């Protein structure tokens, strides 16, 4: 188990990532079919996966998807895509320690596994 101070730092960083992804997703997104693509959220998913790990990244993606849907800047397709992509990015990075695999995990998780 992580020390309490480390968990608090991860929680605060997760909240910052949620804010950045939510704001960035509302400023810059484009429709593809019935989904909205938000590149800023994908970038944040990769960063949170690398810095925080797969489970924190998954939580960040869930919170961001909820906020984007409540604000009307996202669709329900944000949930499976971003959550699977963020988790895969974190898992692949922490298993192999290669950032390019984190990016690949985000692309595969968001674009192939979680796509509508």
DSSP state at residue 73? S
* pTM of the full structure: 0.91
Looking at residue 111, what is its pLDDT?
81
Looking at residue 116, what is its pLDDT?
63
Contacts of 16 (CB under 8 A, 6+ apart): none
Confidence class of residue 93 from pLDDT cuts 50, 70 and 90? very high
Which run of H or E residues covers position 31? Answer: strand 30-32
* CA–CA separation, 18 and 14 (whole Å): 6
Work out the average pLDDT over 36-54.
Answer: 93
Work out the average pLDDT over 84-93.
Answer: 96
pLDDT-above-70 percentage for the chain: 98
Tell me the β-bridge partners of 36. 31
Backbone angles phi, psi at 107, to 5 degrees: -65, -45
The pLDDT tens digits for 71-81 are: 988 888 888 88
């Amino acid at each position: 188990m992580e020390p309490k101070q480390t968990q608090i730092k991860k929680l605060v960083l997760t909240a910052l990532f949620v804010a950045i992804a939510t704001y960035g997703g509302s400023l810059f997104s484009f429709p593809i079919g019935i989904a909205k693509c938000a590149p800023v959220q994908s970038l944040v998913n990769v960063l949170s996966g690398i810095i925080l790990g797969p489970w924190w990244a998954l939580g960040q993606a869930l919170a961001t998807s909820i906020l984007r849907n409540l604000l009307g800047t996202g669709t329900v397709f944000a949930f499976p895509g971003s959550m699977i992509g963020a988790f895969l990015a974190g898992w692949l990075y922490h298993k192999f320690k290669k950032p390019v695999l984190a990016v690949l995990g985000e692309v595969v998780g968001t674009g192939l596994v979680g796509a509508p």
